[in-house]
Structure 1
Amino acid sequence: MPPKFDYSDLRILEGLGKYGPRNVTDVARKLGMPAETLRKRLKRLTSQFFLRFNVNIYHTYLGLKKALVFAEAAPGYEDLLFNCLRQNDFWISLVRCYGMFEGCVGVFTVPNDHCVEFEQFLEEVVKLGVARKSQIFWCTCFQAIHSRCKWFDRKSQTWDFRWDEWIKKIPAEDTELPYTLVDPKDFPIKGDYIDVFILKELEKDATTSFADIAKMLGVSSQLIGYHYRNHIVERGILEGFEVSDFRFGTTTSNFFFFLFKFDSAEKLAKFASSLLDKPFVRTLGKVLGQNALYGYIYLPKPEFRRFVDSLSKLIRTGFLQSYSYVIQDLQKS
């Protein structure tokens, strides 16, 4: 039987996402546990499970606009479509998908003054016959969700998905969205070359030391530390951290790309607020200028139907207008 996370493991992962993995001693203090205990548990977790630590960048402050792209492949050209999309250097995430269509889902960060050219690139992929169609949704930056312990029963050490309770509470949720999910007024460039280089490395591995980054650039680690604290953090370019894991199991769960549509900004805000502390949500993003929300959802396979049934109930009550989704193909990503 494969190993499973227990409550303490989940609490540590939640803390590492919320406070960042760069200072384990500080995380241990905030969680109220000995630093050595956290280090030992983290060592065990990294040896037994897939774990990845990344930074979550507020790309708006680098003059970049986020694009969520759904591309349906022409039959027989699925791999070619994937390779075509990879040729565009603006992608930060690109995966194969299936479900409502066979194709790709990509997240691209495009310079604000090059959005038209990017749209033309996608149109050309369709004209070449590699894709049947493509949809692009310009989005806000993404809000990472750190919740791990909610809906996990500490006594039985099992998950308890309370779908009915969730949908009942949505109408009473807050209507104030996190700044990451608010349409930006502009796209200023607040970072320089060194800032972008640091972020590039931390986006691959948030635990990379300043000394290692300094060696890559041929500068001092003190200079890297200065840029990190006084530019990246102080100017708000770093939104936070993200921990990737398979807390529901590698073979017993799936990742989904959902698009939720609403008939009012208030309903969107309440729905988004209800997801900010849920363990089945990885990231959220709002579609610019629309009452639409993107969600990167992670669910145990038996819970997927219950989740969709809950969305159907929200549609029948008039709270949710519509939803669509595709499933991430982990074998082709």
Structure 2
Amino acid sequence: MRRKKTLTLEPGIFAKVMGHLDELNIKIIKEIKIIGPRNLSAIARNINAPKRTVHSRYVRLRKDKLLTVRAVPEYHLLGLINVVVLSTSPLRSMNKAKEVLAKHDYLHEIMECYGAINGLYAWFTIPIDRIKYFEKFIATISERGIIEDYRIYYTSNFKYYLPNFRYFSVRKRNWRFNLERFVSRIREEKIVEEEFEEPEYFRIQADYLDIAIIWALEVDATTRLAKIAKREGVSRSLIKYHYDEHVDETLVKEYMVDFPRFMPGTSNRLLFVYNFRRFDDLATFAGVLRETPYVVSMAKELRRNVLFAVLDVPVDDLGKLLKFTASDLSESFGIEKFMVMFLPPESYTWKPLPKDNFDPNRGWIYREYLPL
């Protein structure tokens, strides 16, 4: 009998038709978000699946570029503060501006943005005692015409989210999320507020080996401790001690778990920046976004009622989302104003912690970088 051809046999077709989101893979993704990817045996036990199957699924997803998992540091415990810079840039110098910003030692990620601001979205993690030097750097490249107008925001750590799989049909491999019904329903339901921690202090509570471990887990969350030990020229037992006692659940409390949520070409990645009248309104609205399939990450501007939200929004829902945000949601959740920018995924660049800038005795070394 001729073997029936299935979509999962071809990785390209597999990705395009959302085949990567079958029931078992969704369970694996959810569990990775809860406990991280480093103990696949525990994940297998928790979801009652064979360890070998879980391992092969995880390897296959990563090999096919359908799953990215990175450690998310607690930056304030490393003496670093999150800084988001939104800048406009002349089209003729966009590439130059991106190149200059990307060369900064403490850049974390950068993307082009188009919409309320046409230019660049850049996220830095800056040593807390070098903020003035960083502000000088941004002012200088503005004076030199590399960027034009710019806005600087100091934010909490970004929190990463999985889409609400309650709205996903495993059988049909599609989302059944109706935005109109959702907006009507949330007016009647009690929403659990999202929590955003504003650090009480920014202080280095790590040594060089801790930084080296975090750097490795940002690059690849499943990096073996023995590999880190070999690179740093120390014993595995010493690295394991630092990981168990300093890093796990202290310096790293969560993992970014990213994967294609929608069919290729049918959604846009967007950055929304919302201003609220009160913090309670911000926390409640963030709780609303958390319940959708859209939300990727969120952060709050420190000491201000401003919410940053990165969303993946299907093309068919974008107009409705903007309309509801400008009317119904603004009225219900105290949104004073908002702006939205399209983030082209092909323009995305990121870097892990600059571990080579960490001195065991002096802490973070900040090199004043000013382009010619």
| TM-score of the pair, normalised by structure 1 | 0.92
Aligned pair 1:296/2:310, yes or no? Answer: yes
Q: Which residue of 2 aligns with 1:78?
A: 94
Report how far residue 155 of structure 1 moved: 4.2
Over 3 Å counting, the alpha-carbon distance change for 1:283 and 1:318 in structure 2 is closer
Q: Rg larger in 1 or in 2?
A: 2
Alpha-carbon distance between aligned partners in 2 of 1:142 and 1:215, rounded to the nearest angstrom? 31
Alpha-carbon distance between aligned partners in 2 of 1:150 and 1:318, rounded to the nearest angstrom? 24
Stretches of structure 1 that go unaligned for 5 or more consecutive residues are: none
Aligned pair 1:182/2:197, yes or no? Answer: yes
Query: Within 5 A, what are the aligned runs for 1:77-116?
Result: 77-116=93-132
Alpha-carbon distance between aligned partners in 1 of 2:57 and 2:251, rounded to the nearest angstrom? 31
Q: Which residue of 1 aligns with 2:186?
A: 169
Query: Within 5 A, what are the aligned runs for 1:1-333?
Result: 1=13, 2-4=16-18, 5-8=20-23, 9-147=25-163, 149-167=165-183, 168-169=185-186, 172-175=190-193, 177-178=194-195, 181-233=196-248, 236-312=250-326, 313-317=328-332, 319-333=334-348
Identity of aligned residues (%): 26
Report how far residue 32 of structure 1 moved: 2.6
SS at match of 1:172: coil
SS at match of 2:339: strand
SS at match of 1:239: strand
Of the structure 1 ranges 259-268 and 153-162, higher mean CA displacement relative to structure 2 is found in: 153-162
Stretches of structure 2 that go unaligned for 5 or more consecutive residues are: 1-12, 349-372
Alpha-carbon distance between aligned partners in 2 of 1:43 and 1:280, rounded to the nearest angstrom? 26
Report how far residue 157 of structure 1 moved: 2.8
Alpha-carbon RMSD across the aligned residues, in angstroms, is 1.9
Report how far residue 277 of structure 1 moved: 4.3
Structure 1 residue identity aligned to 2:329: L
SS at match of 1:256: strand
Over 3 Å counting, the alpha-carbon distance change for 1:307 and 1:15 in structure 2 is farther
Q: Which residue of 1 aligns with 2:3?
A: none
Of the structure 1 ranges 274-283 and 121-130, higher mean CA displacement relative to structure 2 is found in: 274-283
Report how far residue 87 of structure 1 moved: 2.4
Alpha-carbon distance between aligned partners in 2 of 1:120 and 1:74, rounded to the nearest angstrom? 21
Alpha-carbon distance between aligned partners in 1 of 2:286 and 2:241, rounded to the nearest angstrom? 35
Structure 1 residue identity aligned to 2:139: E
Q: How many residues align?
A: 329
Over 3 Å counting, the alpha-carbon distance change for 1:277 and 1:55 in structure 2 is farther
CA offsets, 1:98-146, max 9 Å, x none? Answer: 2233311111101111112111211111111111111111001111113
Alpha-carbon distance between aligned partners in 1 of 2:71 and 2:87, rounded to the nearest angstrom? 26
8 Å Cα contact 1:14-1:148 kept in structure 2 = no
Over 3 Å counting, the alpha-carbon distance change for 1:213 and 1:148 in structure 2 is farther
After TM superposition, where is structure 1 displaced by more than 6 Å over at least 4 residues in a row? none
Alpha-carbon distance between aligned partners in 2 of 1:50 and 1:155, rounded to the nearest angstrom? 19
Alpha-carbon distance between aligned partners in 2 of 1:27 and 1:93, rounded to the nearest angstrom? 30
Alpha-carbon distance between aligned partners in 1 of 2:332 and 2:167, rounded to the nearest angstrom? 25
Structure 2 residue identity aligned to 1:45: L
Over 3 Å counting, the alpha-carbon distance change for 1:190 and 1:20 in structure 2 is same
Alpha-carbon distance between aligned partners in 1 of 2:166 and 2:136, rounded to the nearest angstrom? 43
Report how far residue 210 of structure 1 moved: 0.6
8 Å Cα contact 1:287-1:294 kept in structure 2 = yes
Report how far residue 314 of structure 1 moved: 0.9
Alpha-carbon distance between aligned partners in 2 of 1:278 and 1:29, rounded to the nearest angstrom? 28
Of the structure 1 ranges 299-308 and 60-69, higher mean CA displacement relative to structure 2 is found in: 299-308
